[in-house]
Chain A
Amino acid sequence: MRSGLFLLVCLIVGGSVFAVALELGNDYYFFAGYVVLQYIVLATAWNILGGYCGYVNFGSAAFFALGAYSTVAVHRLAPVPIPVLVAIGGVVSGVVGFGMGYLTLRLRGAFFAIATLALAVVLQTLIVNWDFVGGSRGAYIVRPESIAPFGSYIRYLFLIMMLLAVGSITVARLIERSRLGYGFATIRDDEQAAEASGVPTLRLKLIATTISGALMGCAGAPFPYYIGYLQPSSAFGLDYAVNSIAMPLIGGTTSWVGPLIGAILLGSLQQIATVTISSAVNLLIVGFLLVGFVIVAPNGIIGLVQKYIRHRPVEPVGRRPVSADAPEVAP
């Protein structure tokens, strides 16, 4: 399918989801749906670096929070429409991703992973100490009650996040089928061989880190408007880090479908579990699912489905399948 057509299909699907949510007439669906869409963006973004290149980023929360806090900072300077804020958040996170990658990606993959883990802690320290964006007290962003053509403001936010989700999936699919994507795959499979064959591995890794970081920043930018009151511990929440890793790994990392499936499944599961059980228990469920899937089903749900299709027993023509306990028939 051509990318233009794919984008059109995505937009139609997104539009119909929006229409259905409107039809249901309850703003709760927008609040819940927003979170799921946000996870689709985060999981897809993580997968561009983690799934395609094989480099694990534990700092999704840091990139997400960077986007959210650049919104807070800009908001304090001048009132700017949200799409502009999304762009700013993306640029800030992309630049930080590039810098981090430049310092650590020349070494073994583990060092990059460790550096991203530490990045989250350090950025949180910076934010806590930075009074301009509220410091440890947090910052209030007053969400307008309504906005012109959409009615309540959450519908507008939902629509923006929907467009971001469609955009990131399209970008991921585009990368997958381009020269860039094949380059990423060579890094994932055997970096030394790729390097020896003339693949500019460092440059490709930097491109992946920048795109991935920028998308996470975009996902974080509207967050202050959604939550209304942003504090460092909620923006840097460990649940963003764990979910953006768990969703692609549970869905399947090799194509754009995996993070999408993982995010929809886990995201909705958590929305239900948060309401019915408790938010701490549902994080525990995510943790166990992550560990369980990486041990038992390394290729995620997609891998399981592919295995099932490949191994489906083909019934021989003209013969009844013999069940195990059927009596032996003498010739």
Chain B
Amino acid sequence: MNADTMHYLLQGVQNVTWQSLTMVAIGLLLIWLAIVKEYEPLLLIPIGAGAVLANMPLSPLVGPEGALTVLYNMGVANELFPLLIFVGIGAMTDFGPLLENPRMVLLGAAGQFGIFLTLILALVLGFSHNQAASIGIIGAIDGPTSIYVSNKLAPELVAPITVAAYSYMSLVPIIMPPIMRLLTTRKERAIRMPYSSREISQRTRILFPIIVTIVVGTLVPFATPLIGMLMLGNLMRESKVVERLTGAASNELANVVTLFLGLAIGATMVGEKFLQLSTLFILALGLVAFCLDTVMGVVFGKILNAFSGGKFNPLIGAAGISAFPMAARVVQREAQKENFDNFILMHAMGANAAGQVASVVAGGVLLALMGAA
């Protein structure tokens, strides 16, 4: 056995670098978070696995024809995967609570302020316009929207932005409550809001996705792909005539695409590109964006409370983000801590569904502002 043979056999070991080891460790950390802490396991396991596999020495998976590269080109580079996931999200989302309480749209809008505040902060820190906008979109707390927008504006930042968006989404129950408690008084949190449903006719439920698509698509053309897919899924759900498609979109399609998307995003977490100071900034700014969303939402909830003469529970404002339905659940839990028979879940769900739509619109507005083609 000569030296050359030895060289070929040990090629893997020789190509281990500190960057790749660190990235493997980060991948394993994501997997650990997914399994042990159950933080968005559906996403963090594929992302973590993608990161580990892509950073193995000389990994054939990320070569020019590697499987992970193929997945990336197939659906991330051209934005197909986030859009397909949106069909599934639309098929899973019940906009009923929002239709019952249309004023919740205001809270959905308030929940997006963090995006724009963070954008300004990122500009101050020296990121380019496009990068700053991509970082701000983490404040939408919406994975597919973040991937879609950042891939258009700053493709080099997709990996850290996606990781930040999904990590913070899973941290909703940890990050939001302290802010909510800080900004509200015990008395405000205890405000009761009895369930006030009106029966929403099926016609309204069917017209809603159609009208939203046409209105939003006309006002914010950049949001058309996202809102169109989201509302297509919802139209299928509410029409009740294509239950097979609804089921496929919310189960098979969403699951398969989530796996592909997670792997492909994970595969972009390659040592030299990911291990940079900017990644830390992005993670930090993403957290800021999320906190600002919550702050603005609660503050807006307090404004609504003042206008309604003290009948509006400001906690609901915090649900005006996109993390559906976790944000609404957190709101319900916090309200219940003060008053165990206070159920504001439906109101919070309305705000949350509005946040879902609003974050898509915000993404479109960002793209328009940046003049993305």
A complexed with B:
no
Interface residues of A, Cβ cutoff 8 Å to B: none
Interface residues of B, Cβ cutoff 8 Å to A: none
